[in-house]
Amino acid sequence: MSRLVPAPDALVGKRFDVAVAKMLGISRAKAADLIESGQARVLGRDISKSSTLQAGETVEFDIVEERSEPEPIAHDMAVVYEDDDVVVVDKPVGVAAHASVGWTGPTVLGSLIDRGVHITSYGAAGRQGIVSRLDVGTSGLMLVCKSDLAYVEMRRQFAEHEVVKTYHALVQGNLKEDKATIEAPIGRAKVSDFRFCVTPAGKEAITHWDVMERFGEATLVSVNLETGRTHQIRVHFSSIGHPLAGDAMYGANPQLSEALGLERQWLHAMQLEFRHPRTHVWTTVKSHYPADLQHALDVMRARHADQSL
């Protein structure tokens, strides 16, 4: 879990490693390690340890704390594809990508390591091998790199939007078009450290969607992301008045969520397509709906059938 701290007036103009050391009460060497590993950074700007902290900036800390108890393991997390370079898992809901401050549940990385899967040492401390993440409340396919070669190449493919990520989402209401693109910048919402919103000050975000099935009070869509912002699908559909079913954070109808038996957003990472980092062969990995999302969809189809009579 991230912690946001506005740049203190007394530290404006200081080197970033000096400022981080003062803010956390640690040595400058330790502060430099946090900066280099990506656990201490400035929102909206790439910054090195020798860069100067500027007025009005916000420092984000994402520091992995030592756990007093062993991390729980996601034994039900299926491995869908694996070779010497990459492993693709079907992440269940309630599993984080990696350890972070305040998170006490299982993680993809910890569960793979517990199974004896070798993961590259490349990447920030505590999140090595990870080049793309899914929210704790979103299920589906997630790729982790086992080799150094894979980490470098897959990080490039994700950064340059060469990986095709297809999600299925159940959104509230009846979408007007059969297909469309939402292009709107996304940034942190001022009202909460954990919510995001469409804002002119945000980063570019592009979401393409196609209707798969209509139920009147909800629509099942296939979604492709051109960018990979945090909560992108949830924020974009909420911004056009069609929040994801079950997504209380972004305005879902609680009565519909209850009727469908949903305790999280109806969103699943359904398919990953990428060029294999070593062989360069175009590779496609597919998933299927987990039980809670399939149940909600079955209930929605039954409701729609009843209303059509």
Is beta strand 40-42 parallel, antiparallel or unpaired with respect to 164-172? unpaired
Residue type at 134 in one-letter notation = L
Q: Looking at 62, 90, 135, 292, which residue is catalytic?
A: 135
d(CA 7, CA 53): 7
Q: Are 179 and 127 in contact (CB under 8 A)?
A: no
Is 36 exposed, middle or buried (CB count within 10 Å of its CB: 0-12, 13-18, 19+)? middle
Question: Is 135 known to be catalytic?
Answer: yes
103-140: b or e for each residue (b if 16 or more CB lie within 10 Å)? beebbbbbbbbbeebebbebbebbbbbbbbbbbbbbbb
Q: What are phi and psi of 74, to 5 degrees?
A: -85, 85
d(CA 256, CA 263): 11
Active site residues: 135
